[in-house]
Structure formats: C-alpha cells, structure tokens
Amino acid sequence: MTSAAPGATSTTPNEPAIRRLLRATEIDTRMLGMIAALVLIWVGFNVYTQVQTGESLFLTPRNLWNLSVQTSSIAIMATGMVLVIVMRHIDLSVGSIIGFVSTIIGVAQVRIMPAYLGLDNPAIWILSVFIALAIGAAIGALHGSLVAYVGIPAFIVTLGAQLFWRGAAWWVTTGQTIAPLDPRFALMGGGPHGSIGATASWALCLLACVVIVFSLYAGRQRRARFRFPQRPMWAEYLIGVVGCLIVVGATAVMNAYPWPERVAAAYAEAKHIPVPEGGLIIPTGYAIPVLIALVIGVAMTFLARRTRFGRYVYATGGNPEAAELAGINTKRLTVLVFALMGTLAAVAACIDSARLDSATNVLGQLDELYTIAAAVIGGTSLAGGVGTIYGAIIGALVIQSLQSGMVLLGFDSAFQQMVVGVVLVGAVGIDTFYRRRTAKG
C-alpha cells in the first residue's frame, strides 16, 4: 500500500466532477453563489430591457463602465464594514460621515483655502484629501472609543452619530450646495478626464496578470515551506487562466466605452487635433475611482489576511473573551477598526463629491444601509468572526447592479429601496441557514 506524497491534495473515489473541481481549486462555494446571482441579475436586466425597449441596455460598455464607477464608493466602505461586523459591531453613521466630510471639503476648497493659497493652487486638492481623511479617522476613533471604553453599544453610538453628523453637515453649509470644486480634485470622481485611457489600462491589465501568476507561485512556495497541502498543478493553471481572462475582459469593456462625442470634440479643438469624418474615438479606460477601490480592496485583503491586526480582528469576532485572555487589547482594536471605517468613509466622501463636482449635506443618504447590505450579501456573518473583503466588493456590485438595472427600467425609487430591503433580509436568512447547516455538519 502506497501513501500519498507529502502536501498532495486528497481525493475521494467516484467523487463528482464539480465537487472535485471545487476541492482542488479551493474555491469558496458562497462566492460562486454570489457570482452566479450577479450573472443572473445582469442577464435578466439585459433580456428585460431588450424586450421592453427593443435594444439591450444593461450589458453595454457604457452601462458597465458607469456601473463600475457607481459601485466604487460603496465597495470601499464595504471593505471596512466587513471588519466592523466581524468584530460583532455595526456602523450606521458612514452615510452621515460622507455628508459631513463633503461639506468640510467644499467649504475648504471654495471659501477658505483660495483666500490663503490663491485660486487654482494645486495644493488645494491635496490638502482637501488629507483634511477629509483626518476628519474621517477622528470621527471613527471617537465612535470606537465610546464603544470600547465607555461601553455604549455600537448600534446606539452610530445611530446617534448618524443623526448628529447629518445635522452637522447641514449646519456647516446651512443647507447650501457648494460648487464648483477644484478641477484636479474632480478627477477623483471619474468621467472622461478622470480616467486613465486605453494604453495605461492595458498596461495595468498586464501588471495585474503578472501579479496573479506571481501570487499563485508565491503561495505554492509558501505552502511547500510549511508543508501544507498543495493544489494540483492543473488547478493552479485553471485559477491563473480564469483570473487573467477576467482582468483582460474587464479591461476590454472599459476601453470599449469611448468619450462622449461632445467631450471628444472639445478636447480635439483644445489640442488642435483634426477630427475624422466619423468623429474622434477616444477610449475611456479605467476610471480613477475604480482604481482607488481596487487598490483599497487589495490593501484591505492584505490587512485582513496577512497581518497581525487582521488576525486579531477575526479572533476577537470569533470569541471576544478568549481573545482578551490571549492578551489581545480588544478595546484598542475596536478603536482602530472604527477609525479605519471612518477613514474609508472619508475616501468615499471625496469620490462622491468629486463625481458631483459639488458638496452637499444630503450626500451619502442611505449609504450606510447599502454598505451593510454589501458586506452581508458578500458573506459577512452578523454573528461575527466570518467575512471576506472580496465578498463585500462583489456584494457592493450586486447592490449597485440591482439599482442600475431598475433605473434603466424606470422603476420608482421607493420600489428600488423595497428590493434592496428584500435582498438584505434574504442574505441574512441565507447566512443563518448556512451557519446552522455548518454547525449540524
């Protein structure tokens, strides 16, 4: 009788092909479920618009490009909400933080800094971003301190903060809309000028494929070093090919959306570029807010999975009492997690303000619910201890896809909120069923 080689992945005789594939590739079945739901939503809306209008409106480069931009701010906040919920807390204030921070940004850019730095000073947008991040982190740290050191439940703290910061946002501007913002700052919101173009997008695509291949190689080397079970080589190749195909496909879609005709014509006139008979076609490429969301997603994944901070967060969420007995400073950890959440809300405030090219106290309304929904739909358990960053990003894409599709079909905003509410309750129900089934198994 021969034994399996060290590190080999065990298989069961007569095991179904699908189960063998999932076991070999170590793909999370819940993630596959989310992706399947996302594909179903996309195809469903595309078919429905085809039937209603005679043309496909959802699966077009224009709509998918806009969808990616619209998803970015919720996706950014959802990555932080994962850690908050993993630690068995909740943050209902992120939408109001967006509104408050955006008004501070607007007042600083339009009324204060030009008086000292002069109009069109390039330092204005940089200082605005730093001010936003500092305010967001300070607000989050304040919330975390009340939860950790005063002992007030996070639900109550952030519910009160939701009302307080929304009122403070109105107080800063007395309900006025502050515009226009610094043109360099506005690039953070996307648009034709707030994108990197075709060449840079393909270069980024190539870099992403290299990173995917290197990550698989490094992961295999790390497993061998610690004598952990290895995936079969065919599974490694499959993951690498599928990952690269997704990146290439996404890049092709982003580059397939050209600048609007009038914007391209104005650009050609300003640059003295001759316009061809069919018009000037300028590929848009990846938008800057999408790139910000991707970078934050990668950074948050690394923070959650590869750092002591991330391990402590999950350990505390899994069993707070055991974490304290193990010497983890859970109170300090709570403050840091809420401060991180506030910082990410400030990033979202910058993106949303830049996209509108204005600051208003109503910005971010209901975003706290969409953020929580994205995290929960992405597999984060409200019981704590379980959640993934990539799941939250996919959850944000699901939420925004539903909203985008309903807008294309002309559904009333009240109906849109009803659908999101049903999806959120359904996601929590699925999570509860999954945990019960796992516990029984």
pLDDT digits (tens, 9 = 90+) for 355-366: 999 999 999 998
> For 59-68, 256-265, 334-343, which range has the lowest pLDDT when averaged over its residues?
256-265
Position 69, amino acid: V
Cβ-based neighbour number of residue 434 at 10 Å = 16
Q: What is the pLDDT of residue 438?
A: 63
User: Does the pLDDT value for residue 435 go beyond 90?
Assistant: no
Domains of the chain: 31-189+312-440 (1.10.3470), 196-286 (no CATH)
Q: What is the pLDDT of residue 414?
A: 80
282, 235, 324, 285: which is closest to 8 by C-alpha? 235
Confidence class of residue 91 from pLDDT cuts 50, 70 and 90? very high
SS3 90: coil
Q: Supply angle C-alpha 150, 153, 154, rounded to 5.
A: 105
**Which residue in this structure is represented by tokens 């501070």?**
104
SS3 412: coil
**Per residue in 10-34, pLDDT tens?**
555 566 777 777 777 778 777 888 8
User: Does the pLDDT value for residue 2 go beyond 50?
Assistant: no
How far is 399 from 352, CA to CA, in rounded Å?
Answer: 17
> For 147-161, 273-287, 359-373, which range has the lowest pLDDT when averaged over its residues?
273-287
Confidence class of residue 237 from pLDDT cuts 50, 70 and 90? very high
Percentage of residues in the chain with pLDDT exceeding 90?
A: 66
Sign of CA dihedral 98, 101, 107, 110: negative
Q: What is the pTM of this model?
A: 0.92
For residues 208-227, average pLDDT: 92
Which structure tokens are listed for 240?
């690498």
